[in-house]
Structure formats: C-alpha cells, structure tokens
Amino acid sequence: MNHSKLAEILDTAAETSQAVPQLTLENNISEKDAYKIQNLSIKRRIERGEKLVGIKLGFTSKAKMEQMGVHDLIWGKLTDKMLINRDSSINIKKYIHPRAEPEVCFLVKKTIDKELKTIEEAKEYIAGYTVAIEIIDSRYQDFKFSLEDVIADNCSSAGLVIGPWNPIEEDLENLKVTLEVDGEKVQEGNTSAILGNPWNALFDATRLAMAAGEKIRYSSYIMAGAATSAVYIKPGQQIKASIEKLGEVEFGVRELV
C-alpha cells in the first residue's frame, strides 16, 4: 500500500474541491493505516505553509459510536487555513458538500504533555471554552465512507468558527445547544450528548494524543465534538450556533465563482 499516494489523493481532493471514491473500495486499509494516511496528508499541508492550530474529535456521541460499530473516538488535526472569522462569510465553492454542526471548543493555555483525568487537573492547562461551529466536508463522493476512510480524510475537517472565549466558571454539563439557519432553529441538543460532559471529550483528547506520542501545544484549540446532527449548508444562508451560558457565534454562506 502506498500511503503517500493515498494521502495525495485526499489532499488534492480537498485543495480542488473535487470528490473522490472511498479509498477502502480498492485498498485494504486498517485503522493504523488510516492515521498514517491522515498524518501524511496533514504533512503536505504544513509543507505548503499551513500551521497546526489544534485537534478535533469525532464520534463523541455514544449513539454515533454504536451506529458506526466502533468503541472509541477518532481524531483529526486543525490548521490555520481552516479558521473562519466569526460574523464573516465562507465561499461555498471551496467545499464539496459542507455541513455545519455546533460544538464546544477549548483553548489550551499550557502545553499538555500528559493524559488529563479530572476537571481540576485540566484547569491548569485550559484557558477557557466557547461555542463553536465546525464545518465538516468529506472528500468522498456522496458523503459516504467507512471508519478507515473518514480517519484517513482527517475526520472530515474543513473549517471552524470560534465564538468569544469564556473563563472556566460555568459547568459544561447539561447546557442547551441550538443551531439556526436564517433565524430558524433546525437542530436542538444538549452538551451532555458529548460523552455526558464536554470535559470528558477533553480528557479523551489528551489520552489519544499521548497514545500517539504527541503533545497538545500551547494556544491550541480542542474541538470537543458535535452536540447535534450536522446540517447541510447552502449559499445565501446565515448559520448560527448557541450554547446556553456560553454565547453564540455565526457566519454566512456565499457563492463566488
């Protein structure tokens, strides 16, 4: 198996906004292979000048884990090219079939070099948290993929919009989450859908990073996973996410040739 070639296929798909067939249709890819492909794809981005700014988690919903037949989270990398200014607009032409989902995002204030297991311990490393919107955009045709495919594709990471930071004061458990399109609520959920409490997602993020021999650097973002289903977005829409006590964040969708 040529991991570098498969990484190039996915990287090119993301750069050109052109969908490709699932890699697993013609390749016997293990989960280990998938992460190797993901890392090689991210390496190509870094070589072009992008910088790592954090990590994202997937399958933080127990129901989603069961649906996909997996027993652990998956994770991907975030780069500065994915960052979108809040209250700005994205050009939908840069994506293939983008979807938006509301999330909790943590900000790292001190490089994490060990697995964190308690909130009190984590407070030493986390500066704050906020409401965020992740744009996911699988590079595969028809948005269809296996577990190994989605890991290789950097867990469908495409963009993130981050709200104003909150100091660590409010409990993150059992907070109402909403996603609106043009002022209409299209999804409602609760932060408890994120592994019971978004802090648990943070703990798992540190566990996964340490198992991979990686540190989570100072000033990194940690996207804790979705609290609702993702919603397909279209040109002309205004997308807004709100989390009780944490605030709101939004962005617009435009179409430029």
Please write the tens of the pLDDT for every residue from 211-231. 999 999 999 999 999 999 999
According to the model, what pLDDT value does residue 238 have?
98
Q: pTM of the predicted model, to two decimals? A: 0.95
Cα angle 163, 112, 110; round to 5: 60
d(CA 17, CA 14): 5
**Domain extents for the chain?**
3-254
Q: Give the up-direction half-sphere exposure of residue 27: CA atoms within 13 A in the CB hemisphere.
A: 22
CA–CA dist 209, 114 (Å, integer): 9
Angle between helices 3-16 and 31-47 (to 10 degrees): 60
Task: For residue 226, list its beta bridge partners.
Answer: 103
- Classify 225 as helix, strand or coil: strand
State in words which class domain 3-254 has.
alpha beta
| Predicted pLDDT at 256 | 75
Residue 1 pLDDT level (bands cut at 50, 70, 90): confident
On average, the pLDDT of the chain sits at 94
pLDDT > 80? residue 71: no
What are 174-183's pLDDT values in tens digits? 999 999 999 9
- Burial profile 201-215: b = 16 or more Cβ within 10 angstroms, e = fewer: bbbbbbbbbbeeeee
- pLDDT, tens digit, for every residue of 27-61? 999 999 999 999 999 999 999 999 999 999 998 87
Which pLDDT band, with edges at 50, 70 and 90, does 120 fall under?
very high
